[in-house]
Amino acid sequence: QVQLVQSGAEVKKPGASVKVSCRAFGYTFTDYYINWVRQAPGQGLEWMGRINPNTGGTNFAQKFQARVTLTRDASVSTSYMEMSRLRSDDTAVYYCARDRGYFYDSRGYHARWYFDLWGRGSLVTVFS
Amino acid sequence: QSALTQPASVSGSPGQSITISCTGTSSDVGAYKYVSWYQQHPGKAPKLIIYDVTKRPSGVSDRFSGSKSANTASLTISGLQAEDEADYYCTSYSSSPTYVFGTGTRVTVL
């Protein structure tokens, strides 16, 4: 079954780090980018950044550039989001979601700039 | 970069049509045909309902439709049903950052 399975809930103290995982099942892991999107309680969705599982290349929304690291382990089809120097306002559900971006095949150039598969989310609570 | 602007709430009676707007800039919504819409029920992950401004994924009701004019995209829900009560978010591809989300709209079925 095609799905993204995320790690469980975490409770952290301010100043600590957290690492959330997102494992892909049912498709070729390196064919799709993995994005990270967060949602604070009662708030909207916020795009954080994205990793190319094939090359490891990343790009970020500016506000997350300094504190977030995205990595991947293709051998287990898993992407990781690590956030450092946690604050209380980092309390949120963190989602991973895939997109295909742009790619070439025998029929030419294609663009798939949307999230067609989401994980269920991982709740991170920052609490002193 | 600022979030795309959506109305905080929209409501309608069963069977009616409603439209949700999503206003961006000439750097995101106005520049690309890559606007998508997501439906989120409470406690659930978002679900893709519209991509590339007007396209519906397989399995999504044809009561959902999308459009765009200049810097504003729109989602229309026709024949409103109780199950459509949810939060809706637009997003657009952008040159930098890669994606920007809308502020979100709560749809209430009266």
pLDDT in tens, A86-114: 999 999 999 999 999 988 889 999 999 99
A46 contact B CB<8A? yes
A44 min Cα distance to partner chain B (Å)? 6
Q: From A36, which residue of chain B is nearest by alpha-carbon distance?
A: B99
Of B2 and B5, which is predicted with more confidence?
B5
The whole-number average pLDDT for the span A50-58 is 95
Partners of B97 on chain A (C-beta within 8 Å) are 47, 59-62
- The C-alpha atoms of residue B2 and residue B105 are separated, in whole angstroms, by 16
Cβ neighbours for B94, distance < 8 A, ≥ 6 positions apart: B1, B27, B28, B31, B32, B100
Residue B97 has pLDDT above 80, yes or no: no
CB contact under 8 A, A115 and B36: yes
Residue A12 has pLDDT above 80, yes or no: yes
B51 contact A CB<8A? yes
pLDDT tens digits, residue range B27-84? 999 999 999 999 999 999 999 999 999 999 999 999 999 999 999 999 999 999 999 9
Tell me the β-bridge partners of A122: A94
CB contact under 8 A, A61 and B91: no
Q: Give me the residue from A59, A60, A118 closest to B46, CB to CB.
A: A118
